[in-house]
Amino acid sequence: MRVRNRFIGVAAMLPGVAVGLASFEAAAVRPLLLFVIVVVAASSCLVAAISLAVVAHRNDQAELGFVAAFFFAASMLPLVHGITVPSVLYGTNAATMTSVFLAVPLGLIGIGPSLIRRSSVGRRIGQRWRQWVLCHAAATTALAVALVAVPDIRLHPEPGSSLAWVFATGFFAGTVFAGQRHAWLADVAGRPGPVVIGVGLIMVGTSSFAFIDTTPFSLWFWVVHGIDILGVFLATVGGVIVYRHRQPIGEVVGPILAVDPHAALELGLSPIVHRFVRDLQAKDEITRHHVVRTADLAIDVAVELGLSAEVVRRTGLAAVLHDIGKLEIPDEILTKPGRLTDDEFAVMRAHAELGGEMLKKASELSDLVDAVRGHHERFDGTGYPDRLAGEQIPIEARIVSACDSYDAMSNTRHYRVGLEPAKVRAILSEHQGAQWDPLVVNALLAVIDNRGQTPEPRLENIGRLGTVAADRKFGCSCLPEEVLVAG
């Protein structure tokens, strides 16, 4: 919650800044200057917003598409605001203020489905997110054209009125609500990148307070335009980096626009994690695919349980690393096609303890030791290696245990063919309270129902990079030899 708390603190200060600056006297009246600044800036922001929508379409990222919809509205309607500035192309008109007034609420409608993503309506829209974003962009463009064509349309309150205060406060609160999710994602990632979107959202939301000032071209008038423009550019700054380094746009904005906990977790992965998974791939490809699928599912279950960002992060990482102890299990046991003997099973069981010992040697992963060591404990206390029971087992381990079992039962392994979904559900339900935490099983079944039996694969890039590429990408030229286990 660290980044999230700071985000809320910054958001709480902005209205006070708005009130303070609004009390300053008017500056020089320069309509042409405003026209040039806003038209150029809004046009650039519009291009950036469209670029984000293209990245979302290309990578099938629904939440990024909703974010793009917000910034499209926050760019298109301010462009109308600039075009209709009085004393340049138009005389006195209502469109100048109406366009600014409608920008934030229309943007919130665009990003709205991501704020209700766990509801039935949110899930349905999420499945058809491209159509939503396209229709939202078409409606926004139609409104913009209407305001330019009929500039006397008035849909805004009187500046400085009580109604203006109500709307400004409500719109700003909406952007804070939307933005705090990205601050939460920053905590999941363990890196600040995703919070950039959140800050951009509340900076655009601050533009709603333009209506508390009754004096055109006051100091606050100019500041609020600057904050609005900077907010959009802050969230789309990847475009500048792309131009400078000539990298694919998705590769650059991905770390900034991590729009779900899976992307956020992958953003924060260290080179050591990638190396461990890469070693699993070299030793046994089936195990590598298993840990990635388990992590994908475990993150959703942790979110379904309403756990904190820090616990979601630890759960995802523990799931990725829960089987790294198998790197020290002999191949003839690990990949044996038939049933293991008692002696072989005893060797296989040791992987939970071995994994915990390996993580102890990597200081940045030491907080995962108990979760990895405990992923074969049972809720009734008959598991291994420490025979922990109930809430003695870390919540991360309880989640990984259920997700590990679900994936192992659902997919073909060396020793047997995967079971039918109905059979897997029946086993989970029958043994909840004994092998697995009932609350975790209920959340797991809810996640499975929501995502379907064949979800889109996520986290597939973990461990995929070569050693040199990974070290360069994550800023590490070498890894501690004591934690690197040869395949």
Count Cβ atoms below 10 Å from residue 247 Cβ, excluding itself: 13
- In the prediction, which pLDDT does 176 show? 87
Q: Are 115 and 181 in contact (CB under 8 A)?
A: yes
Residues 6+ apart with CB under 8 A from 414: 286, 334, 335, 336, 337
Residues 6+ apart with CB under 8 A from 258: 185, 189, 193, 194, 264, 266, 267
DSSP string, 294-355: HHHHHHHHHHHTT--HHHHHHHHHHHHHTTGGGGGS-HHHHT-SSPPPHHHHHHHHTHHHHH
What are the start and end residues of each CATH 1.20.1070 domain in the chain?
2-256
- In the prediction, which pLDDT does 461 show? 74
What are the start and end residues of each CATH 1.10.3210.10 domain in the chain?
269-483
Tokens of 367: 């907080």
pLDDT per residue of the chain (487 residues) written in tens, 0 to 9 = 465 556 556 555 656 655 555 555 555 557 888 888 889 888 988 988 888 788 778 767 777 788 889 989 999 999 999 999 988 999 999 998 899 899 999 999 999 988 887 677 877 888 789 999 999 999 999 999 999 999 998 988 888 788 988 998 899 889 888 888 777 766 776 666 667 777 888 888 888 887 776 666 666 677 777 778 877 777 665 433 433 333 444 444 444 444 467 666 765 677 788 888 888 888 888 889 999 999 999 999 998 998 887 888 889 989 999 999 999 999 888 888 878 888 988 999 999 999 999 998 887 788 899 999 999 999 999 999 999 999 999 999 999 999 999 999 988 776 677 788 899 999 999 999 999 999 999 999 999 988 765 566 677 778 765 443 434 333 333 333 333 333 2
Tokens of 443: 């959340």
Element (H, E) at 199: helix 195-206
Cα separation, 430 vs 426, whole angstroms: 6
**φ/ψ of residue 464, rounded to 5:** -80, -25
- In the prediction, which pLDDT does 255 show? 44
Tell which CATH architecture fits domain 269-483: Orthogonal Bundle (1.10)
Three-state secondary-structure class, residue 436: strand
Residues 6+ apart with CB under 8 A from 266: 258, 459, 461, 462
Q: Are 189 and 264 in contact (CB under 8 A)?
A: yes
Name the nearest CA neighbour of 324 among 284, 364, 297, 296.
284
Cα separation, 476 vs 486, whole angstroms: 19
Residues 6+ apart with CB under 8 A from 342: none
- In the prediction, which pLDDT does 478 show? 37
Pick 2-256's CATH classification: 1.25.40, 1.10.1060, 1.20.120, 1.20.1070. 1.20.1070
Tokens 């690393």 sit at which residue?
321
Cα separation, 396 vs 172, whole angstroms: 36
pTM over 0.85: no
**pLDDT tens column, 140-174:** 999 999 999 999 989 888 887 889 889 988 998 89
Helices (H), 23-119: 31-59, 62-83, 95-115
Return contacts of 148-155, CB within 8 angstroms, 24+ apart. Answer: 148/80, 148/83, 148/84, 148/95, 150/95, 151/84, 151/90, 151/93, 151/94, 151/95, 151/96, 152/93, 152/94, 152/95, 153/94, 153/95, 153/98, 154/94, 154/98, 155/94, 155/98, 155/101, 155/102
- In the prediction, which pLDDT does 251 show? 45
- In the prediction, which pLDDT does 406 show? 94
Q: Are 335 and 383 in contact (CB under 8 A)?
A: no
Q: Which residues pair with 90 in a beta bridge?
A: 86
Sign, CA dihedral 350-356-357-362, equals: positive
Cα separation, 301 vs 439, whole angstroms: 10
Residues 6+ apart with CB under 8 A from 54: 249
Please report, as a single letter, which amino acid is at residue 90. Answer: Y
Q: Are 221 and 210 in contact (CB under 8 A)?
A: yes
